[in-house]
Copies of this chain bind each other. A is one copy, B any other.
Amino acid sequence: MTRIQRRNRSAILEAALDVFSQNGFRGATLDQIAQSSGLSKPNLLYYFASKEAIHIELLSGLMEIWLAPLHAVDPGGVPQAELMGYMRRKLEMSRQMPRESRLFANEVLQGAPRFLDGIRGDLKTLVDAKAKVIRHWSASGKIADIDPYHLIFSIWALTQHYADFEVQVRSVLGPDRDPFQEAEGFLEELFSRLLKPVDDAAH
């Protein structure tokens, strides 16, 4: 692949991320992507077979990046620190990559018609593996005895909320507050309390 091809492909994907993340698959148009990427509409289709091909390429290309923080949870690390670190990295991704968050949110919200394989495959496999690690940490008393799947869901829900519903969060907080900075402290407190094992010796 030439340098020009690489540059055009990535310009298309960059523009597509903008457009798909804001409008969802059906709401997005090739015209918008063409305009935003600076290429003509037929030229998009020279690089990608169809509108759907662009979308699929985007999703699968971002999947690895998106799952990296969970992948990085180390079974050999300090449980509390590993999980707090995972939460922090996810929040940081919501801050730095809100478009990616909304891209996935749009897709899942609408039933993941173009992505169910990825969810049922890579995602489930990874979550199952990490859930086993977390369950072990709970069983050995290193963290509280809570369901690992719902713990992971709660990290997703709380961190991605600030990206996916950013318009609402900012509207409610008003223009002078920084949602992400405040979320950092709040979620730190929340997950500290959630993960702390019950200290039976205190009773």
Contacts and interface: CB of A to CB of B under 8 A. Distances in A.
Interface of A: 22-27, 102, 105-106, 108-112, 116, 119-120, 123-124, 127-128, 146-147, 149-151, 153-154, 156-158, 160-162, 164-165, 167-169, 171-174, 182-183, 186, 189-190, 193-194, 196, 202
Nearest to A152: B172
B171 A124 contact: yes
B112 A168 contact: yes
Given A26-B27, A112-B168, A119-B168, 7 more contacts: A23-B26, A23-B110, A27-B110, A109-B164, A124-B172, A156-B161, A157-B157
Integer count of this chain's copies in the complex: 2
B22 A25 contact: no
Contact of A26 (B24, B154, B190): B24
Given A23-B26, A147-B186, A105 B109 contact: yes
A106 B174 CA distance: 22
A120 B106 CA distance: 23
A189 B143 CA distance: 14
